[in-house]
């Protein structure tokens, strides 16, 4: 009877140790998966959520510069200029719009502390993954 009890206690102890080991390994696996996921989502020091925000701000910067360009072009059309003058005005407006675009995008890159190239890569990622534009 003592031998049976001893074997039973040893068996229970081994089972408890095994369960504890399995439980610890499962926790490590879950934790490692979470760490790997967060690492894979981080680029340029920005989480995916931050990159999505940046993408929206970049789209907004594009929209503002394009709205400026359209408004200026519409106002020039009302002046009834000849083709040569109209081309000159449109060219000047395009230059102003490009400068405005650069200004807006520089504000975004400074805010998020990234380079222009990184901003382009994030914008491409946003388009590729169909992130919301607004």
Q: What does pLDDT average to over the chain?
A: 82
Q: Which residue has the higher pLDDT, 37 or 91?
A: 91
Answering whether pTM is above 0.85, one says no
What pLDDT is attached to residue 38?
44
| pLDDT, average across residues 8-31 | 54
Phi, psi of 67 (to 5 degrees): -65, -40
- SS3 track for the chain: CHHHHHHHHHHHHHHHHHHHHHHHHHHHHHHHHHHHHHHHHCECCECHHHHHHHHHHHHHHHHHHHHHHHHHHHHHHCCCCCHHHHHHHHHHHHHHHHHHHHHHHHHHHHHHCCCHHHHHHHHHHHHHCCCCCC
| pLDDT, average across residues 3-13 | 53
Confidence bin at 134 (pLDDT 50/70/90): confident
Rounded Cα gap, residues 130 and 4, in angstroms: 66
**Residues 134 and 64: beta-carbon distance below 8 Å:** no
pLDDT digits (tens, 9 = 90+) for 111-123: 999 999 999 999 9
Q: Is the pLDDT of residue 69 over 80?
A: yes
Q: Is the pLDDT of residue 54 over 50?
A: yes
């Amino acid at each position: 009877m003592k031998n049976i009890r001893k074997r039973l206690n040893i068996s229970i102890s081994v089972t408890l140790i095994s369960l504890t080991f399995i439980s610890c390994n499962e926790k490590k696996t879950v934790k490692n998966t979470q760490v790997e996921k967060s690492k894979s989502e981080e680029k340029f020091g920005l989480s995916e959520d931050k990159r999505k925000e940046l993408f929206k701000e970049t789209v907004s910067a594009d929209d503002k510069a394009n709205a400026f360009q359209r408004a200026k072009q519409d106002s020039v059309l009302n002046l009834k200029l000849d083709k040569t003058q109209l081309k000159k005005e449109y060219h000047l407006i395009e230059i102003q719009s490009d400068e405005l675009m650069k200004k807006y995008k520089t504000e975004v890159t400074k805010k998020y502390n990234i380079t222009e190239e990184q901003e382009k890569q994030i914008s491409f990622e946003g388009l590729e993954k169909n992130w919301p534009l607004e």
